[in-house]
Amino acid sequence: MVSNPADPLTSLAHGIGSQHDLPISPFYAFAGAFAALFISFLALGLLWSTSRFHGDRSGRALPAALQRVADAPATRTTLRGLGLAAALAVLLHLLLGPDDPARNPAPGAVYVLFWVGLVPASLLLGPVWRLLNPLRTLHRLLRRTRRRPGPDHPLPPRLGQWPAAAGLFAFTWLELVAPDPASTTTLLIALTVYGTAQLLLAARFGEGWFDDGDAFDAYSALLARLSPLGRRSDGRLVLRNPFHGLDATPERPGLVATVCVLLGSTAYDGFSDNPSWINTLQTSPLGRTPTATLGLLASVALVATLYCLCAAATRLVSGPHPRPLTAFAHSLVPIALGYLIAHYFSLLVVEGPRTVIMAVGTDNASGPAPLLGPGGLAALQVVAVVTGHVLGVVAAHDRSVRLFPPAKAVAGQLPLLALMITYTIGGLSLLLN
Closest of 295, 12, 284, 290 to residue 178, by C-alpha: 290
pLDDT digits (tens, 9 = 90+) for 275-315: 888 888 888 899 899 999 999 999 999 999 999 998 888 88
pLDDT band at residue 6 using 50, 70 and 90 as cut-offs: very low
pLDDT band at residue 10 using 50, 70 and 90 as cut-offs: very low
Q: How many residues does the chain have?
A: 433
- What separation in angstroms does the CA of 193 have from each of 198, 244, 305, 320, 334? 9, 37, 31, 43, 31
Better-scored residue on pLDDT, 249 or 431: 249
pLDDT digits (tens, 9 = 90+) for 71-107: 999 999 999 999 999 999 999 999 998 988 888 999 9
Closest of 379, 403, 406, 286 to residue 33, by C-alpha: 379
Give the mean model confidence (pLDDT) for residues 20-38: 72
Per-residue model confidence (pLDDT) at position 15: 32
pLDDT of residue 17 exceeding 50, the answer is: no
pLDDT of residue 371 exceeding 80, the answer is: no
- What separation in angstroms does the CA of 319 have from each of 231, 316, 403, 404, 411? 34, 6, 10, 8, 11
Tell me the average pLDDT of the chain. 85
Give the mean model confidence (pLDDT) for residues 379-399: 88
pLDDT band at residue 394 using 50, 70 and 90 as cut-offs: very high
Closest of 191, 165, 166 to residue 111, by C-alpha: 191
Per-residue model confidence (pLDDT) at position 35: 86
Give the mean model confidence (pLDDT) for residues 334-356: 88
Share of the chain above pLDDT 70, in %: 89
Closest of 75, 217, 72 to residue 139, by C-alpha: 217
Write out the DSSP string of 293-356.
HHHHHHHHHHHHHHHHHHHHHHHHHH---S-TTTTTGGGGHHHHHHHHHHHHHHHHHHHHHHHH
What is the Cα–Cα distance from 265 to 34, expressed in whole angstroms?
24
Better-scored residue on pLDDT, 35 or 189: 189
pLDDT digits (tens, 9 = 90+) for 139-160: 999 888 876 666 677 888 888 8
CB 248 within 8 Å of CB 55: yes
pLDDT band at residue 361 using 50, 70 and 90 as cut-offs: confident
What is the Cα–Cα distance from 348 to 343, expressed in whole angstroms?
10
pLDDT of residue 326 exceeding 70, the answer is: yes
Closest of 242, 245, 238, 248 to residue 59, by C-alpha: 238
Give the mean model confidence (pLDDT) for residues 321-334: 83
pLDDT band at residue 26 using 50, 70 and 90 as cut-offs: confident
Closest of 165, 219, 174 to residue 193, by C-alpha: 174
DSSP letter assigned to residue 130: H
pLDDT band at residue 334 using 50, 70 and 90 as cut-offs: very high
Give the mean model confidence (pLDDT) for residues 374-400: 86
